[in-house]
Amino acid sequence: MERWDEELADLGGRVRHWPAGAVLFREGDGADQVLVLRSGRVKVTCSTMAGTEVLLWILGPGELLGELSALGERERPVSAAALEPVTVLSLPALSFAAYLRARPQVMSSLVRLLGRRLRESEEKLVEFHSVDTLGRVTRRLVELADRYGARCPAGLRITLPLSQEELAGWTGSSRIATAKALRVLRDHGWIETGRREIVIRNVDALRRRSGHRLPVRPPVFSDAG
């Protein structure tokens, strides 16, 4: 993953802070700023015709938000909200666009980023139609363990404060179906759940059940907790 906070550190812009739960922008808002995450994690979502929230991506330090505004997008196609306190560098879209034109290698990095996000969206779309709810929930838990798992006495604690509703939106499932899937996994002894907390007790079993094919990212291990 390109570290855009390092790439764009000297471009100027305005540093902004949001508390956990704050909305950075909503679908339909004017798109005139590109945001570079410096700290904290953000969920990117869109709404269905029924008004439910679909979680598209979870982004962390070094990643971009609102990059399409530099390519002519006038309205935000998605919403973004802070999962925890975040700090961002806010850059005018026109300045970022000029920066891209002057540096073809940076434009190439942006194209790779957009390609990766498109590929992930296509994979999720196929998954929604070909994998049952238990399989989708299990895949997301494996992904969370790989990206945000911190070692604890019981196994791996997912350090991302994700609610059950948000997990349901990420799997394209109802909250009730997601709760049932989590109960099945608890009954197997593979996970423990608490308020905005999941501990993975047997990640290998989850991986086998999920048929997880994405590259495994090394967890951020910690002796805390």
What the chain holds in terms of domains, given with CATH numbers, is: 4-129 (2.60.120.10), 131-210 (1.10.10.10)
**Whole-number average pLDDT of the chain:** 86
For the cut 60, the answer to whether the pLDDT of residue 154 exceeds it is yes
Please report the pLDDT score of residue 65 as a whole number: 92
For the cut 50, the answer to whether the pLDDT of residue 215 exceeds it is no
Please report the pLDDT score of residue 220 as a whole number: 39
For the cut 50, the answer to whether the pLDDT of residue 24 exceeds it is yes
For the segment 108-125, the average pLDDT, to the nearest whole number, is: 87
For the cut 80, the answer to whether the pLDDT of residue 213 exceeds it is no
Give 103-111 contacts, CB < 8 A, sequence gap 24+. Answer: 106/7, 109/2, 109/7, 110/64, 110/67, 110/70
Please report the pLDDT score of residue 18 as a whole number: 97
For the cut 90, the answer to whether the pLDDT of residue 206 exceeds it is yes
Which of 161, 124, 127, 158 shows the shortest CA–CA distance to 144?
158
**CB of 185 within 8 A of CB of 137?**
yes
Please report the pLDDT score of residue 217 as a whole number: 40
Please report the pLDDT score of residue 222 as a whole number: 36
For the cut 90, the answer to whether the pLDDT of residue 19 exceeds it is yes
For the segment 73-83, the average pLDDT, to the nearest whole number, is: 93
Please report the pLDDT score of residue 2 as a whole number: 62
Q: Which residues pair with 53 in a beta bridge?
A: 47
Using the CB atoms, write b or e for 205-224: b if 16+ within 10 Å.
bbbebbebeeeeeebeeeee
Q: Which two tokens stand for residue 75?
A: 């309205």
Please report the pLDDT score of residue 88 as a whole number: 95
H/E element, 128: helix 104-130
**CB of 62 within 8 A of CB of 6?**
yes
Q: Which two tokens stand for residue 180?
A: 């049932």
For the segment 9-15, the average pLDDT, to the nearest whole number, is: 80
**Which strands form 42-47's sheet, in the order they lie side by side?**
23-25, 79-82, 42-47, 53-59
H/E element, 198: strand 197-200
Please report the pLDDT score of residue 72 as a whole number: 84
For the cut 90, the answer to whether the pLDDT of residue 35 exceeds it is yes
For the cut 60, the answer to whether the pLDDT of residue 219 exceeds it is no
**CB of 150 within 8 A of CB of 218?**
no
Identity of residue 166: E
Please report the pLDDT score of residue 186 as a whole number: 95
42: helix, coil or strand? strand
Please report the pLDDT score of residue 194 as a whole number: 84
159: helix, coil or strand? coil
Of all residues in the chain, the percent with pLDDT exceeding 90 is 53
What's this model's pTM, rounded to 2 decimal places? 0.79
